Amino acid sequence: MKWRNIFNAEFDVIFSAAVMIGFFSFLSKALGILRNRIFAGEFGAGDTMDVYFAAFLIPDFLYSLLILGILSSVFIPVFAEYEARNKEEAWRLANVVLTVFCTVFAVCAAIAAVFAPWLVALVAPGFDGEKQAQTALLMRIMFLSPILLGASNIIGNMLQARRRFFAFALAPVMYNIGIIIGALFLVKPFGVAGLAVGVVLGALLHFLIQIPAVAQLGFSFRPEFTLRHLGLVKIARLSLPRTVGLVANQLNFVVVTAIASTVASGSIAVFYFANDLQFVPISIIALSFVSAVFPFLAASYAKGDIDAFLNKLYDAINQILYFVIPISLFLILMRAQLVRVLLGYGQFSWEDTRLTAAAVGAFALSIFAQSLVPLFSRAFYALQDTKTPVVINIASTALAALLSFYFLHLMTAGGEFARVVGAIFRVSDLAHAAILALPLAFSVASVINLLALYSAFMVRVEHFDSARIVPSLFKINVAAACMAVAVYGALHIAAQWVNMQTFAGVFAQGGFALVAGAIVYGAASHILRIPEFASVVQSFSLPVKRIFLSRLFPVSGSEEKQ
């Protein structure tokens, strides 16, 4: 494929699209980890990071409310429906959506900026006056980002609907680059506000990188503000339940942030650092498959081909679980090494490291559930049922908030619950171990959320057959258990040969355990004949063979065109 055409490449195979999306997601998350390492080294888990994360919350809430609630569930099916009838009408729909929603973003952002001090008091009641003032300043700057990200995501969904995933997947990479630039180069001239300027710069890069790709599709922006367009009305009607669900989910993070602000200085940073780390495999693996499979699910159901719909869903479930189950165990076993390598330097103390590592372990207990929840939600959306997953997600969100209060009470009471949690995660001697109540509550609610969605889907689709999942799931768990034993043994073996007091020693120990675990997991997968392992080998071996053969037998330009 020539580089000048890469932005407009069309993907027709789900696994190939997922691999490509996953690659850029990995790159984005790697940059996100680098970003957090810079944050940790420069500022530690203290007041500055508490201010940054609290300021980020409301702009992110606005973005999630107005974009993720609509575009992630209903824009693609409606856009595809219009494009099937008339491409020009599809472009007109896109122009209307861009115009209306960018206007709404701007108005909402302006209003929110005016009321920023009151919003800060809501999300961080434990902050003193100076921290609240700093948070309000950063929040006002960050309110520019939802406008840019909103327009960018509308464009990205047009690309996704046409199965042009390259620029869509590259955009988050550019977003993190902007934030890193802010942390490295803008804090000195602008103070802590430089972090917020970096967020806005990242949003601008997120938008600009997708412009060439959508232009190649033939789209040109022509502003048209109307609330009567039938496509816009349909999008709004279908997205209402999803939007309500996302409001509930974002409110849960508001509640969590408010609770964390009352525990101790740095608690918000510990929670969000850990959440960012545990979300890496979810983003790289699960969300990549979800993004790739959703257009296929919607198309299969629209054609009335329920068998194809279910086959694609079965494959996606098994492929996601094949990756996330061993990764979950790896995170649990390697949580301390990961946090030490990725965050543990500069102002990030040993206590910060231990608390963050424990929180990563608590989150990792539910990674399998967090990975499958968006897949089952998209399966419902493909069935044009947005109400069922929303009701379940709202109930689960409410449960997470209630459990956060309850678990925090148990942790601060110092009873048997606190003793067991402290012993499991090895933080019994730390003064602020109560922060673990929040990721534990999140994990319990996530598992219940998945069980409820799974049960509801079995009722909604009578032909859904769990037997298509159980055999692979059993084999995956056996292989993952073998991997866990190998990782645990490798950690102890390596600890005898390296200096565990140095970055190089910890990195070498973790790398040795990772390689040992991967080899054992691959060997066990081969012995157990797990189908997903064969798919992975085939997907990666074919491009290698193609490249190798092309070097031996070059193809002329005319032959390549043919």
Q: Which whole-number Å values give the CA distances from 562 to 13, 211, 348, in the listed order?
A: 22, 30, 58
Map out the domains of the chain as residue ranges.
6-463, 475-549
Find all residues with CB under 8 Å of 420, minimum gap 6, and list them: none
- Please report the pLDDT score of residue 11 as a whole number: 67
What string of pLDDT tens digits covers the 562 residues of the chain?
455 556 666 666 666 777 788 888 888 878 887 887 788 777 776 788 888 888 888 888 777 766 665 565 678 778 877 877 888 888 999 999 999 988 988 898 899 889 999 988 888 887 888 888 999 999 999 999 988 998 998 898 888 877 788 888 899 999 999 999 998 899 888 888 899 999 999 999 999 999 988 888 888 889 899 988 888 888 888 777 777 766 776 677 777 778 887 777 777 888 888 888 888 889 888 888 888 888 788 778 877 888 889 999 999 999 999 999 999 999 999 998 888 888 876 677 788 888 899 999 999 999 999 999 999 998 998 887 878 988 898 899 889 989 998 999 898 888 889 899 888 888 888 777 888 999 999 999 999 999 999 999 999 988 888 888 999 999 999 999 999 999 999 999 998 888 887 888 888 998 999 999 999 999 999 999 998 887 777 766 655 454 444 444 444 443 333 3
Estimate the share of the chain in helix, then strand, then coil, as percent rounded to the nearest 5. Answer: 85, 0, 15
Torsion sign across C-alpha atoms 263, 268, 272, 273: negative
- Please report the pLDDT score of residue 65 as a whole number: 67
Whether 51 contacts 192, CB under 8 Å: yes
- Please report the pLDDT score of residue 562 as a whole number: 35
Is residue 415 packed enough to be buried (19+ CB in 10 Å), middle (13-18) or exposed (0-12)? exposed
- Please report the pLDDT score of residue 482 as a whole number: 97
| β strands within 187-300, DSSP E | none
- Please report the pLDDT score of residue 217 as a whole number: 85
Whether 386 contacts 241, CB under 8 Å: yes
- Please report the pLDDT score of residue 6 as a whole number: 62
Q: Which whole-number Å values give the CA distances from 336 to 340, 429, 537, in the listed order?
A: 6, 16, 31
Please provide the DSSP assignment of 371-397 as one string.
HHHHHHHHHHHHTT--HHHHHHHHHHH
Torsion sign across C-alpha atoms 360, 366, 372, 376: negative
Give per-residue burial for 137-161: e unless 16+ CB within 10 Å, then b.
bbbbbbbbbbbbbbbbbbbbbbbbb
